[in-house]
Amino acid sequence: MEGKRNDHFFFASESVGEGHPDKLCDQISDAILDAALEIDPNAKFGLETATKTGMVVLLGEIRMKEREKVDLEQIARRVCKEVGYTSADIGLDCDQMQVIINVPDQSEEIAQAVHVDKSEDYGAGDQGIMFGYACDDDPVTLHPLTHLYCNLMCEKMAELRKSGEIAWLRPDCKSQITMEYKKVGNNFEPVRVHNVLISTQHDADAENIQETIKEKVIHAIIPEKYLIDTTYFINPSGSFVSGGPEADAGLTGRKIIVDTYGGWAPHGGGAFSGKDASKVDRSAAYYSRFAAKSIVHAGLAKRCLIQVSYSIGIAKPLSIHVDSYGTVKEGLNDDDLARIIDENFDFRPSNIIKELDLKRPIFRKTAAFGHFGRNEPEFTWESPKELNL
């Protein structure tokens, strides 16, 4: 790109708001999961949500006690209302929409393989690979800045919309940041924000959209020290009145890079939302983040990537891989990091659930604005562990 020095590079991340159709589906799935966990903390759960004009569809499997107490339809309507879809003109009418449900009990074969008649060593809910990542971009969250700021801008737009401060905002929105980084040895440091892109749904009579978003969203979130020669793209397509499920279909699990690290780390492919913690797609990804963040927090590396792999029905991972990208503390190597992780972290699903307290109904909150980089009490995987070295 023009003006880029040889020892500099650009990297972009994106996020979407709670009213994006895919994120709406994630929140419905996780709200129903939370309702199930409130009744039965041992509920086994796999629920997909889809949405399009005038409808929400629930598909999946549930195994729990007193299942009749979970009103799937009413939870779906409540989430749509809370997000802001209260009229077909906005994108979906929570009261008038059709709700289609096909959610039988969990397969008996899966139950027998994973958790029935098993205690501490019950197996992983499926095979798969999961990743965890942390870096020292931001000393508080240990999360990549490009992704952190994208999530925070989407969250800020929801806050401004719901408070009425920007009354013309509607629920559907996206953000994207390109940041310039400087290479420093095997690591790199953020220099400035090269450009910011925000597309947000709005009322038909909205005025001063670009000026308002720039002042109340972008400058409220991104520190001025990074806004140097920054280019702004705000609603570059022009009018964005029609949004939400009216404009685009939504489906649980289609925003897995938004959910994780904004492209800075690989992703195993398995989505998070709508899955209880026996599904290692979710719980082992959380635990891998927990381990990677603990490594960076302890000053053992400036960046850390962890990969784990599992088989259905087997408790211990089939493999654990650690990569510091050459940023490991002087005197150590990645093999040392792998040893430290092995001595401090137990990746069996039963331990992950116990150590991170994942039988709580806390998952709806994770389903918008990122599962990582948020130092909130529910997000136990974001509190680094003191390591025995």
List the catalytic residues: 20, 22-23, 48, 61, 174, 240, 248-249, 254-255, 275, 279, 281
Contact 128, 281 (CB under 8 A): yes
Among 225, 179, 221, 176, smallest CA distance to 200 is for 176
For residues 206 and 235, give the distance between their C-alpha atoms in angstroms, rounded to a whole number: 12
Among 353, 376, 357, smallest CA distance to 366 is for 376
**Degrees (nearest 5) of the Cα angle 45, 50, 51?**
145
CB count within 10 Å of CB 151 equals 27
For residues 4 and 2, give the distance between their C-alpha atoms in angstroms, rounded to a whole number: 6
Contact 126, 312 (CB under 8 A): yes
Burial (Cβ within 10 Å: 0-12, 13-18, ≥19) of residue 314:
middle
Contact 100, 92 (CB under 8 A): no
End-to-end CA distance of the chain: 44
Place of tokens 């082992």: 284
What residues contact 289, with CB distance under 8 A and at least 6 apart? Answer: 132, 133, 134, 371, 372, 381, 382
Strand 128-135 with 98-102, pairing: unpaired
Q: Which residues pair with 61 in a beta bridge?
A: 46
SS3 content of the chain, % helix, strand, coil (to 5): 35, 25, 40
Longest Cα–Cα distance in the chain: 64
For residues 57 and 51, give the distance between their C-alpha atoms in angstroms, rounded to a whole number: 6
CA dihedral 162, 167, 168, 173 (to 10 degrees): -20
For residues 20 and 140, give the distance between their C-alpha atoms in angstroms, rounded to a whole number: 28
Around 323, how many Cα atoms within 13 Å sit in the side-chain half-sphere?
Answer: 12
